[in-house]
Amino acid sequence: MAGPGWRSWEQPLRDRGDAAGAGGSSSSSWASTDPLSPTAGSRSSEGEGARLSQVHRPAEMQKLLGEFRALYQERLRRLDETSNGSEEMLRLKLRILQSYVDDLSEQNDVLVQTMEEIEGEANRKVTSLETKLQNLRSRLLLSEEELESLRQMVSAQRLDRPCLPRLPVPTKHLSGSTATHPISLSQEQSMEQEELRCQLASKEQLILCLQEQLRDMAYTQEKSREEVEDREHKIQQLQETITELHHEISLKESENLTQLQDLHLLENRIKTLSQKIWQSEETITQLQTELEQVQGGLSDSSHERVSPHVSSSQESLPHSSRANELLKAELERRDATILHLQKDVLLLQEKRDGLLAELDAQEQRIYQLQAELKGKEAELEQKQNRILHLHQELETSVQLYEDSRKQVSESKTCLSRVEGENQTLRTCQLQQTAELEKLNATIQDLKVSARDADTTLQSEAVERQKEMEKRLLECQAEVQTGSEVIHSLRLELQESNQRAEDIKSQLHGVRAKMESVRSEYSMTLRKGKETEEQLRTLEHIHKDLRVTVSEQQETMKELETKLEQQLESLYLSENKMVRQEQNLRDLEAERSRLQEHCQELQAENSHLYVRLDTQSLAVEDQQTFLSREVTIKLKHSHDQRDQMSCSSILNFKK
């Protein structure tokens, strides 16, 4: 009866073992093993142990544990279905429970072996990490040498700037995940934990040093930013000063152009006045010539006409001589006036020539100043272009500074994140250590309880077998007793299953924590590398910024020197312009005086013209009067001569 019973559920176990197995060896062991044989449990446990030894991933191990539980539950369920209360079925149940306990022990051993393998893999990773950290140490030494060279450059430039402190490089490094400790806490493992704590402390010290270095770099960059802002403010002031100077120069240029226009107008007016003076001189000369001609004509006509009749015109001679004397005196006075005017005109011409020469010199000087002004404007434009270029470079350096500041803030954030992750790792280490201790104690308790249960079950089975041999007739009572024992065994099995579930869940949590710790550790290493790259980049950027700031300082010194020279030249130009303005004001005053004098001359010339016209009219009237008197006298003399001739003729006739 027993054979067909267990043979009837052996085939489903084969099928389930084939479906759930990862390799052919484990499935064949389940298929070919008789579960009722005394060695069935050990062979099945060996097959499952070999299968578990090949599994390293937590998901596969969890799946296998679920398959184990499902297989044993299926066995017990089929035994319960085919159970008829016989002693052989009870023995089968005892064997199945014993094999389940052995499988749990094998699983614990497999877990320990897996933990040891993980620890070996972690040790290999630690070795590779130590190599990488050694390379990092060499890079840090190179960076220290660069920092030393930077310090020498800064001391040479006499800049009071704090340098970056040397990074303390720990001689020991992190050795991997904290979840790779074996379950059994030995003296070596405790030493490794102490070493790990020392390494964590050294890492904290390194992080503190990096934070201090970042603070120093932030202070240095803040100081550099303030210096750049100061330089930018000075450049802005210089630009405003240059703009004001350019505006003043443009105003001076417009004033110079206005003065040149005024000078040209004055020159034109002087030329016009000189032409008028020459015209007046020619008119005076012409009038003098005409007057001389009139006087000569009068003297000739009077001599020719009066000579035959001297006797008749003796009475009118005193009057005409007085008139001639008056005319001569008037002509002499006019000649003196004309000479005086000619002298004044000559003096005015000399002054005009001097003013024209001075005006030409002033124009030449103005042209020279305009050429110098154009040259200064060209230099000013070049300097403005240079200032714009420097401003662009300053904006570029400010942008680089902003980028470096962002990188420093990101580095600080990464360092704070790494510090938090280290704190989390330390907390996880403590928790995992406590959990490992608990798991070790639980496993030891499970082993002891399994051994006690095995011993108890074996002793009870032997005693019950003896009792069943003695009391074959009391089968029902024994069956009832067996049912109670089966019930108690089921309760114990449920408790064992519950404990196994707890252990599985704990192992699953430990594996998950191990994976998370591994990922966090790899992330920490990756972030450390990124932080190192960022630090090197920041050092290069800081070095470039220092070089740029020094170049900008030299450029600013050159610009300040050139600006002082320009201000000095502008001051000299302003003095020259002031002197020119004074000269122009003097010329304007002289021009006004000349205009007034010309107006006086014009008025006097007009007065002379009026007097000449009056005198010419008087002379014409006098000539008319004299000619009329001479005509009258001649007529009277002719009449007298005719009368005399008539009287003489009459006398002759008588």
Domain match, 279 and 181 both: yes
H or E element: which one contains 413? helix 317-470
- From the list 389, 387, 372, 376, the residue with the least C-alpha distance to 558 is 387
Structural domain range at position 527? 165-425+497-648
- Cα–Cα distance for residue pair 90/479, rounded to 1 Å: 10
Q: How far apart are CA 640 and CA 458, in angstroms?
A: 214
92 in the same domain as 196: no
Q: Decide: 8 and 21 in contact? Cβ < 8 Å.
A: no
Residue 605 is encoded by which pair of tokens? 């010339």
Q: Is 240 exposed, middle or buried (0-12, 13-18, 19+ CB in 10 A)?
A: exposed
For residue 500, the one-letter residue type is A
513 and 635 in a single domain? The answer is: yes
Q: Looking at the domain assignment, is residue 462 inside a domain?
A: no
Q: Are residues 169 and 238 in the same domain?
A: yes
CB 98 within 8 A of CB 33: no
- Residue 263 falls inside a structural domain: yes
- Considering only the C-alpha atoms of the chain, give the largest distance between any 2 of them, rounded to a whole number of Å: 250
Q: Using the 3D structure, point to which of 107, 123, 140 is the last residue of a domain.
A: 107
Q: Specify whether 296 is located in the same domain as 195.
A: yes
Would residue 586 count as lying in a domain?
A: yes
Reported for 51-60, long-range contacts at CB under 8 A and 24+ positions apart, including other chains, are 51/21, 51/22, 51/23, 51/25, 51/26, 52/106, 52/107, 52/110, 53/110, 53/113, 54/22, 54/23, 55/22, 56/114, 56/117, 58/508, 58/511, 58/512, 58/515, 60/22
Domain check: are 63 and 206 in the same one?
Answer: no
Same domain, 94 and 213: no
Q: Rounded to two decimals, what is the model's pTM?
A: 0.24
Domains: count for the chain: 2
Are 45 and 39 contacting, i.e. CB atoms less than 8 angstroms apart? no
d(CA 262, CA 580): 14
Q: What is the dihedral of CA 483, 489, 491, 492, to 10 degrees?
A: 170
**DSSP 8-state code for residue 179:** G
Task: Measure the CA dihedral 308/310/313/314, to 10°.
Answer: 180
Same domain, 178 and 309: yes
Residue 368 in contact with residue 505, Cβ under 8 Å? no
Question: Does residue 171 sit in the same domain as residue 83?
Answer: no
SS (H, E, C) 546-596: HHHHHHHHHHHHHHHHHHHHHHHHHHHHHHHHHHHHHHHHHHHHHHHHHHH
pLDDT at position 308: 52
Q: Across the 654 residues of the chain, what is the mean pLDDT of every consecutive 10-residue run? A: 40 41 38 37 42 47 71 77 70 75 74 74 73 73 70 61 41 41 53 71 73 72 72 70 70 73 72 71 70 64 50 51 68 73 74 74 72 74 73 72 70 70 70 70 70 69 64 59 66 71 71 70 72 72 72 74 75 76 77 75 73 75 74 73 70 62
Q: In this structure, are residues 172 and 126 in contact, taking their beta carbons and an 8 Å threshold?
A: no
Task: Supply the pLDDT for residue 4.
Answer: 40
- Domain edge (last residue) among 67, 83, 107: 107
Answer with the one of 107, 139, 154 that is the final residue of a domain.
107
Residue 169: strand, helix, or coil: coil
Is residue 518 a contact partner of residue 125, using CB atoms and an 8 Å limit? no
Residue 582 belongs to some domain of the structure: yes
Residue 362 CB coordination number (10 Å) = 18
3 state DSSP class of 654? coil
Give the residue among 495, 390, 439 at the shortest CA–CA distance from 111: 439
Same-domain status, 255 and 383: yes
98 and 171, same domain (yes or no): no
Distance separating alpha carbons of residues 277 and 283, to the nearest angstrom: 10
In the numeric block, the tokens 């590779």 are attached to: 128
Question: Which structure tokens are listed for 186?
Answer: 């030995």
Q: Is 483 a member of any domain? A: no
130 found inside a domain: no
Asked whether residue 81 falls in the same domain as residue 215, the answer is no
